[in-house]
Chains A and B, each alone.
Chain A
Amino acid sequence: MVGGFRWAAMFPDEVWEHVFSFLPADADRNAAALVCRAWYRLERRSRWRVFVGNCYAVEPAAAVRRFPEVRAAAIKGKPHFADFNLVPSDWGGGAEAWVEAMAEGWPHLEELRLKRMVVSDDCLELIARCFKNFKVLSLVSCEGFSTAGLAAIAANCRYLRELDLHENEVEDNCLHWMSHFPESCTSLVTLNIACLEGEVNVSVLERLIGRCPNLKTLRLNHSVPLERLVGLLHRAPQLVDLGTGKYAAQHHPELFSRLESAIAGCKNLKGLSGFWEAGPTFLPAIYSVCEGLTSLNLSYATIQGPELIKLISRCKNLQRLWVMDLIEDEGLIAVAASCKLLQELRVFPSDPYGAAQPISLTEHGLVAISAGCPMLHSVLYFCRQMTNAALLTVAKNCPNFTCFRLCIMEPHTPDYITRQPLDAGFSAIVESCKHLRRLSLSGLLTDLVFKSIGASANRLEMLSVAFAGDGDAGLHYILSGCKNLRKLEIRDCPFGDKPLLDNAAKLETMRSLWMSSCSVTLGACRQLARKMPLLNVEVINERKRGLPLELQPDNCPVEKLYIYRTVAGPRSDTPSCVWILR
């Protein structure tokens, strides 16, 4: 760049900052910061939103130092497979280091979003004390805290707008935590307590939401009885997103009509969820708002197909539907006929471990949806049988998929009609869906499918593989292709050392790689760690037999392997089952 320093000085800093404010995407800001020192300096002072995809990729203090004006931070901890108990519970992902650094360097922090991290009550208390302007706390799939920590947040965050607790494991030791919201707290916009196991004082909740006129999202937990939902809705008719509590009660017509009219009174309702233990009795109470719904989560409701059909057929504007496989093919055919605006579908298994079950949810349901819903781009589908033909049809019908996650519940399941592997089907998906960003494979698969994925899945960012492939070639195809791959997670596949070592450089272009129950040896991991100083090569061996890992021979098999790029070097909080190789 000719005269780089001088042209940057042509405009005062404020002008450049204003220009940068039009670059919201981190990738663009990162690029701007590399242009010249002046831009680096300007950009770092004007970045106020930071996303850290792997909490161990950078030292908290370094991040805080580089971007001193941050107001909103999002940080992720454990690898995704922690959701399925594949990661030891003491693996790491603790939030203290980050919260302490942020308390020190970002006193004006307003928003904090943590995912899959271990958050202690001390962390919550620190947040409550140190950030005077704190507005948004979002904890997703976290653990380590209790309702006592929530009490601290409630009591001290005077301007709290969002308390979003999504799928966390929260210990219930402070029954009246919600009473800690002062009378002066009137700013709540989002209150999501759906994951809390314990009792909630509904009267306190009523008073709280009664004084928060801007409340848009309210998601209750299972303990809130249906009778009390009526009172809550009367106090918050402006709700846009409602998660019910328990959706069952002793049937009496009076409760039904009160519930029906309370729900009808919420004229802005766009999203519904909750529905624990819902049966057909009270479901019709929501019919009046169905037409306006864009999001419906019935994945905790064990309602049968016919009732689901009656409900969902009324939801003509539905964009997102989460449901149990009790909906069956017939129900999905009805969805395909009624919900023409559907963008995202998730079908969860009602009976994941059942041996033989009369649930008729098959490839036909998926095909019907793909044919009937032209705007569909995101699918998560649990089923027990699939064919290549069906996947080919789906691929043809839906070239716009961004996310396709298919889980055929029995590992190694072939096409049930031809008995062939499902290579052809998944290949069709990646070849047709040029914008595919996320893919999960299942069923019987050979190395061929990986050849297609490596060659065609150019926008793929996250790939999940289980019980698939024949040998090293499979992994090699992926690592040598898939230009934009960021996260790769593999379990129970016959992939070994060679493709890892041959594609070591690729690993630095990715956020992380997880491999468990594959055929990787300790020797390869040692080699990889030596060759790539910017990677943390974590070997996780939970079964502590014999020699410590340092003394094990090179051919020792590695149970679980987690590799991620980092500028922070090896972390210091590893438990005894984790070794970081150097």
Chain B
Amino acid sequence: MSQQGYVATPPYSQPQPGIGLSPPHYGHYGGPSHAASSPGMIKPAGPLGAAPPGGMLPQGHPPPGPHQFGQNGAHAQGPPPQRFPGPPPVSSAAPSYPPYSPSTQSSYPSPGSSASMAQLGSQLGAMHINSYGSGAAPPSQGPPGPASAASVQGPPQPPQPSILQPGSQVLPPPPTALNGPGASPLPPPTHRPDGLPGPAPPNAQYQPAPLPGQTLGPGYPAQQANYGPPVAGAQLSYPGGFPGGPAQMAGPPQPQKKLDPDSVPSPIQVIESDRASRVGQVYATNARGQIPPLVTTDCVIQDQGNASPRYIRCTTYCLPCTSEMAKQAQIPLAAIITPFATIPSNETPLYLVNHGEAGPVRCNRCKAYMCPFMQFIEGGRRYQCGFCSCVNDVPPFYFQHLDHIGRRLDHYEKPELSLGSYEYVATLDYCRKNKPPNPPAFIFMIDVSYSNIKNGLVKLICEELKTVLERLPKEDQEETSAVRVGFITYNKVLHFFNVKSNLAQPQMMVVTDVSEVFVPLLDGFLVNYQESQSVIHNLLDQIPEMFADSNENETVFAPVIQAGMEALKAADCPGKLFIFHSSLPTAEAPGKLKNRDDKKLINTDKEKILFQPQANVYESLAKDCVAHGCCVTLFLCPSQYVDVASLGLVPLLTGGTLYKYNGFQMHLDSQQFLNDLRNDIEKKIGFDAIMRVRTSTGFRATDFFGGIYMNNTTDAEMAAIDCDKAVTVEFKHDDKLSEDTGALIQCAVLYTTVSGQRRLRIHNLALNCSSQLADLYKSCETDALVNFFAKSAFKAVLHQPLKVIREILVNQTAHMLACYRKNCASPSAASQLILPDSMKVLPVYMNSLLKNCVLLGRPEISTDERAYQRQLVMTMGVADSQLFFYPQLLPIHTLDVKSTTLPAAIRCSETRLSEEGIFLLANGLNMFLWLGVSSPPELIQGIFNVPSLAHVNTDMTLLPEVGNPYSQTLRMIMGIIQQKRPYSMKF
């Protein structure tokens, strides 16, 4: 294990004068020396595209040890370090790069050296390990600046362990640079090869406003930072950034040297290497505690007894045996469960088990469902529960003989015996009131206040509904959808519509009693779309006209949800509300909100208030909604502050989705809006769900994060759960775990299908247990860790000051790594950072997380946007959170128009942008196309159909359809990226 550790020089933060401020530091690209570490990306020329990612992976080409970085550059490139001699500046771009040696042993003196350990230990001891979270600023830390220091983006890293020589210190960027990203006027050409992240406003990338295109001019200032910053995960930098930071990195203070950005482990490389090794392979889940491929890797997963990582992904696949060990390592034990994850068509869909009247076979004691972990004994007459060890009788109908190895003869015939994931048909006992559920209903609730009418949104929705309703979700084998639909419009009052099929024209019923909303009609409100099609179309035609001359500005909100919920309650079915809302609900009604946006609270202890809902109404409303299986999906098109923190609460707790389109403008946002709407209506979804996570003895689920409502401590209730929603579950020890039996997790979700069938979806997963810390570190999954950290931090945002949260995150990360160094890694110089292989990129990712606008308030980021992102992350699965925190940056100019594969991603750092290039940046919410100031005109012509950069309309949100290969390929790429994401990205 230790060999695989990274040892990096402690980034001693040496405040360098003028960092980020002095133009000279920024070398211009274009100099011959610029062979950026990933030249392919920087060089505009097409030919370079020929150097595919693979080419950059210097596997097996360990460069000469002593050379700094030789290997980084990969054979293709020039030696990076030497490139920057000129601008030695401040920014860390120290000419002398730490030698990057492929093998720890060879490259540097005993990594596990007692000296370094002692040194580290002493440093850590004081502030971290013992007083974890105490917040004591390490002596070495100067600036509390959060920003990552050197955005060290190395070229693809070799997979081998690499070590940064302690001697060559990388200097963490001076705090000043970090803190004042916005403030530092970067000289236009920001491409500093050394990758000093510079003053990139970390959060800026979320601001939709600065489209890349706009900044193309020569004056192109800091905006490019939009892309870079989150990425600029200078893992090494946080010591600088955070008080109490990772002291382990703070080796001997050698201020002059800086960390070479390229020497930092590269996520891209990690991703690519995993991809290279596993893509196209079949990953079979047959072994306990097997570590799955990364989320970014496409491969076929075959269920052989454990749930696919698409359903469950753990932070570690090997649990520590004892709670002491867990405490020592401080690695969170958690599983990110996406019970309804979409399965690619080349994998087997879930089998459905139907035991008829008898219902699922369950353990008598712990009620775990029959699964591969049940051990059949006594010739098959009994079985021992793998979770609680209780011995149960096999029900007569279920009896089967055992074969010579003690397996039932029908082992492979029954999905519940051989597979990790499967479904049961639930019996009436599992239904509300012991009655079979009715098929769910979708209710569309449209805000018809003045602004929505005026900006055309109402018309757009009504038009779209006419077509999209044709594609309501249905069971695969059914011809038409069983989902019924209903319509409500509202401003200050609510309008229900009777669209019964036998009516000549729809009937509108106005409910003005918003203080106590009720459902005015029963029959004819929820209808089958096919049957009532003509009436519905008639209605949808009329709605925009009906309110065309409305000048009602006030809206209500809580009563709207209430109405939808009451309607579903009256119809006795679960369902989903699609609410299209756009303003702060100021009308006199329950849930009335005040504008309380107060930028002054940012960075104070009261900042948390901004994330808390304003009125209690929403929480109790959410509770009612969950109790009645009413899921709320909210499409917000605000033109100003709408208090997302309050409005979003119900969608969050009911398992709905929140979509937000700032300052909705028809020509800019309609496409994104419509895509989202279509996806949301069509996607796979289960209603009225209860999720329970059972574990084998010794540990248990203690905390749940996600779009759920918890009535008690064990059951996560969800009004609905769709394919994009993930629940993160944290585990804690109860007792000792045994290495032999391992640890078992069974996640059971009871839900109602879109056709109104009650089902149980079971996911099983077996994990290893070990008493060796090394095993634990070996089995960690960084992406899942980040997901967990993000969710727990974002949850804590409601209750704790952000500063404390950031400190905790930093400290915990530091602690995890320190623990590794202390216990697993071979001795090394104290100044070296040793990273376990499985956590190579954790620091980078953590840095990105810390720079997320939720955790780092800035006045130019709207409170709503922060609340929105907070909410999004709370329900994200691992793949989404990975992309969200570390966006994909694709060099478009290297595009091979003949190939259909994506160009290799590059490190997401501002420094990787080049003037000659065109880059596409995507984080799951937004896509930006960044055009370098001297991007090749033929590309511009090809993509935009305009002669030059100056002609490009920076407002556009859709690429023109131009019939040439560049355009087609680019659009295809965007399509591919989009395909897998829950949110349609705004371009």
State whether these chains interact. no
